[in-house]
A and B are shown apart, each in its own frame.
Chain A
Amino acid sequence: MKTNDVILQTTTKVVFFIIFLFSIHIFFAGHYSPGGGFVGGLLTTGAIVLLLLAFDLKTVQKALPFNFTIMTGIGLLLALGTASGSIFFDVPFFTHAFSHFNLPLFGETSLHTAMIFDAGVYLVVVGAAITMIQTIGGDT
């Protein structure tokens, strides 16, 4: 008998974006409230896993055509690059910089290089977790 997942798939299409937006929110909120790169990354992974459950591996790979190993590498480079930037200013490694900016749409915003580091963590977590799930779940 051919199963029909229409309810699951339709719900997933809506819920995926809610989870994804929530993970982005958690990621950006990390500096002032609980959250950050790690949880944000795991939530994004959770959203993608939901897609994997509702559809199959091939469809998801077609929808999200990233090489997740490369994504891990980019994340590591971002993290290391943020930390190493301090070398060029002759201050100790990992010294972060921050300042307030007046952005056109957001108004007065404080930006901190720790966020770039966090983005690196986010990419590493997503890349590594999805690589694991794809490797275990895949046929090869």
Chain B
Amino acid sequence: MINLLLFPIILPFFFAIVLLFFKENIRVQRSLTVIGLLAALTSSLFLISKVKADGVQAITLGSWPAPFGISMVSDMFSALLVTTTIIITLFVVVYSFSSIGKERERFFYYPAILFMITGVNGAFTTGDIFNMFVFFEVLLIASYLLIVLGGEKRQLRESIKYILVNVISSALFVITVAYLYSVIGTLNMADISVKIAEIGQPGIITVIAVLFLIVFGVKGSLFPLYFWLPGSYAAPPIPVLALFGALLTKVGVYAIIRTYTLFFVHDIGFTHELLLVLSILTIIAGCIGALAYFDLKQIIIYNIVIAIGVILFGVSQMNESGLSGAIFYLVHDMLIKGALFLLIGIIIYVTGTSNLRKMGGLMKTHAPLGWVYLIAAFGLAGIPPLSGFVGKMLIVKGAFEAGNVVGSIIILASSLVVLLSVMRIFIYAFWGKPVELPKTDRRPYRSMMIPSVVLVVLSVLYGVGTEWLIPYMSDATDVLLQPSIYIDAVLKE
């Protein structure tokens, strides 16, 4: 099966198309979505084992020889991200059954999710820079639908900003690819890497590297370019927010990691130093935001910004510990952000508000929710047996090895801020004097709890089972550290 690496992309796409035919039938929509995601999950698990056994999988579409056709490449890094993406989507979809509401379900909600997953998985798997642009558009256009679906006033206002920012950054993406193409003359990522190594990264390539950083920085919310994120992400309903928070910014991060480990590795003193400074500023800006708000959504949204900074800080070290820490932290962050958004969604459902000051004493009425939230919060902050620990530890280790003492101390201090910000939610919402809760149905609460709890359990297993995951992570790191593995896999002959 040489086409195995395409299945996580094709299957959601196929099911999304089929769902277009059953617009009004909600039961069919739900069951086909779950079936499609399960099938995609199975194929992506097969893909991981295949990549583990046989090394990097590459295929050039249409049987064309390698640099001329569109190559799709699945190394361990992208295979892990694809699997995580599908897992999170699966839980978010189950969560939406009881929370998104019939009106939205009848208006292409599930097809939009599946199209978005097609785009996300495609962007993770592609080996062609222009094809990456196309998959970015696939996921963005689906996300435009998801952010505006429902048509509340706030959604309409924020979706205008969101679309405007993304259209501009997409245009810049095309311009950047055009520059790169005019200098290098190829679009295949492995081939670009070879050609850049041949000419030894002159100044213009460094300029293009910075342009790529700006483009992907807008998509992935890097420091001066994250301004659109807090407003836009707070607008859509919680399941959509969970998908966005867990997946969309991470695609930008993946693209930065890919380009900065495969293309622009010959002038690290400038490009990666810039990335380092920006990532530290991102962390600081995120920390300020996370402490400033008394709104559940905003606190977790600013935690996304912090996590982006931490991951990219790990990448900017360009050594083994830093990169493998970044990969560990990236997968962890996708899982835990998904879980946290689902959990605060339940808190908002129960209390009927997202304002922390109007909550209190939930521990008496909703104890399981409290404990699960506490575990997720500790996992986010990186308390040892839980999932956030290993990644951040490796990142800090890498930074000390590279001699960035100040940076590592800022990372460690940011963990405290993260812990403080999520514990504040815990203290305000679960302790203290009980406030009067609006009357809510117990059934949706239970059916929303199940996917969230399973996701938290998965993230705990991810933390506890680190030892078992290390061979996979080191495979992923090897490809990032040695672009020759990637290049050889694509340009075989």
Contact = CB atoms under 8 A, between A and B. Distances in A.
Interface of B: 1-3, 6, 10, 13-14, 17-18, 20-21, 23, 59-63, 72
B63 A92 contact: yes
B2 A73 contact: no
A73 B61 contact: no
Interface of B is mostly: helix
B148 to A, nearest CB: 14
Given A70-B20, A72-B20, A73-B21, A93 B3 contact: yes
Contacts of A94: 61-62
A95 B21 CA distance: 27
Contact of A95 (B13, B20, B23, B63): B63
A87 B7 CA distance: 10
Interface of A: 69-70, 72-73, 76-77, 80, 84, 86-87, 90-96
Contacts of B18: 73, 77
B137 to A, nearest CB: 15
A72 to B, nearest CB: 7
Contacts of A96: 62
A31 B6 CA distance: 27
> Which 10 pairs, one residue from A and one from B, show the smallest C-beta to C-beta distance?
A73-B20, A94-B61, A94-B62, A95-B63, A76-B17, A87-B3, A92-B59, A92-B63, A93-B6, A93-B3
Contacts of A93: 3, 6, 10, 59, 61-62, 72
Given A80-B10, A87-B3, A93-B3, A73 B17 contact: yes
B63 A69 contact: no
A70 B63 contact: no
Contacts, number: 46
B23 A69 contact: yes
A5 B2 CA distance: 61
B77 to A, nearest CB: 21
A13 B13 CA distance: 39
Given A69-B23, A73-B21, A92 B13 contact: no
Contacts of B1: 90
B130 to A, nearest CB: 15
Given A69-B23, A90-B2, A93-B3, A80 B17 contact: yes
Contacts of B63: 91-92, 95
A92 B60 contact: yes
A89 to B, nearest CB: 10
29 contacts: A69-B20, A69-B23, A70-B21, A73-B17, A73-B20, A73-B21, A76-B17, A76-B20, A80-B10, A80-B13, A80-B14, A84-B10, A84-B14, A90-B1, A90-B2, A90-B3, A91-B63, A92-B59, A92-B61, A92-B63, A93-B6, A93-B10, A93-B59, A93-B62, A94-B62, A95-B61, A95-B62, A95-B63, A96-B62
A124 to B, nearest CB: 10
Nearest to B61: A94
A80 B118 CA distance: 13
B492 to A, nearest CB: 13
B64 to A, nearest CB: 8
A36 to B, nearest CB: 17
A118 B148 CA distance: 31
A92 B2 contact: yes
Nearest to B6: A93
A69 B17 CA distance: 11
A36 B3 CA distance: 28
A104 B6 CA distance: 39
Contacts of B2: 90-92
A113 to B, nearest CB: 11
Contacts of B20: 69-70, 72-73, 76
B155 to A, nearest CB: 18
A121 B136 CA distance: 20
Nearest to A77: B17
A92 B14 contact: no
A83 B18 CA distance: 16
Nearest to B23: A69
B128 to A, nearest CB: 13
